[in-house]
Amino acid sequence: MNNATLLGIDHVVIAVNDLAVAAADYRALGFSVTPGGRHPGRATENALVVFADGAYLELITYHAPAPDERWWRTLQAAGSGFVDHALWPEDTLAALAAARARGLDALVGPVPGSRVRPDGQRIEWVSARATTPELPFLCADRTPRALRVPEGEARRHANGAQGIAELVVAVDALDAALARCRALLGPALPLVTAPPDAQGLQRAHYRLGAQR
């Protein structure tokens, strides 16, 4: 494994209008929801649904308008729901440099990030942000990962959920999206395309390594 390796899905971002209501809805569905905290310098707060495989759902809300942020604009336009997803690289800087060397110019970074948990613990990470909505962003920890992604009871759910089996992202132009994904993923993670289905939808998929 080299330090540019993409290890799996880090998390899926779900923007919500009311964090308390969203958390209650997920708990009613049998998920364990862990308060995440607030992000310094941003008007955001989150809660986490962490799975046994180490991936998680991030429920995030805004306490003030943020028109410069795509997540906020999507929330205003479409209401609560999926806004983004992140992959976990061994090293964000190495993965970013490798993607740029393959011709990908749709990642901005490195971008430092942090969150202060309800218990006062500050956690930090570094990311590379995608400028096109079909691409994932990259997120790797500066502080120990277990501080950001809780272990133990937080990963056990009454409904038996163990992880994220599949994530489907709709795109306007498949060929262009595939070119950007290939530049991000590299030749070691081939994209597999399938012929159009009965509805005329064409799909492509890739599989990352085991979660943690």
Residue 211 predicted with pLDDT over 60: no
Average pLDDT over residues 145-150: 97
Q: How many CB atoms lie within 10 A of CB 206?
A: 14
Percent of the chain with pLDDT over 90: 72
Q: Would you call 130 helix, strand, or coil by DSSP?
A: strand
pLDDT tens column, 57-87:
999 999 999 999 999 999 999 999 999 999 9
- Answer whether the bond into residue 190 is a cis peptide, omega within 30°: no
Mean pLDDT, the chain, as a whole number? 92
Q: Give me the half-sphere count of Cα atoms (radius 13 Å) on the Cβ side of residue 99.
A: 32
Would you place residue 210 in the very low, low, confident or very high pLDDT band (cuts 50, 70, 90)?
Answer: low
161 phi and psi angles, rounded to 5 deg? -60, 135
| pLDDT for position 138 | 96
- What distance in Å separates the CA atoms of residue 33 and residue 22, rounded to the nearest whole number? 10
Bridge partners for 88 per DSSP: 8
Average pLDDT over residues 169-187: 88
Alpha-carbon distances of 46 from 43, 112, 155, 183, rounded to whole Å: 11, 17, 17, 31
| pLDDT for position 195 | 85
Tokens linked to 12: 């899926």
Residue ranges of the alpha helices (H) in the chain? 19-28, 70-78, 92-101, 145-148, 174-185
- Classify residue 144 by its DSSP letter: -
Q: How many CB atoms lie within 10 A of CB 26?
A: 20
Residue 34 predicted with pLDDT over 90: yes
What is 6-205's CATH superfamily?
2,3-Dihydroxybiphenyl 1,2-Dioxygenase, domain 1 (3.10.180.10)
| pLDDT for position 192 | 82
Average pLDDT over residues 124-150: 95
C-beta separation of 8 from 189 below 8 A? no
| pLDDT for position 199 | 86
Q: Give me the half-sphere count of Cα atoms (radius 13 Å) on the Cβ side of residue 185.
A: 21
Average pLDDT over residues 154-175: 93
Average pLDDT over residues 96-108: 93
| pLDDT for position 201 | 87
Q: How many CB atoms lie within 10 A of CB 146?
A: 11
Average pLDDT over residues 129-145: 94
- What distance in Å separates the CA atoms of residue 54 and residue 191, rounded to the nearest whole number? 23
Average pLDDT over residues 46-54: 97
- What distance in Å separates the CA atoms of residue 177 and residue 26, rounded to the nearest whole number? 31
Would you place residue 1 in the very low, low, confident or very high pLDDT band (cuts 50, 70, 90)?
Answer: very low
> Where is mean pLDDT largest: 54-58, 99-103, 197-201?
54-58
- What distance in Å separates the CA atoms of residue 169 and residue 82, rounded to the nearest whole number? 10
Bridge partners for 191 per DSSP: none
Residue 112 predicted with pLDDT over 90: yes
| pLDDT for position 187 | 78
Average pLDDT over residues 109-134: 95
Q: How much is the pTM?
A: 0.92
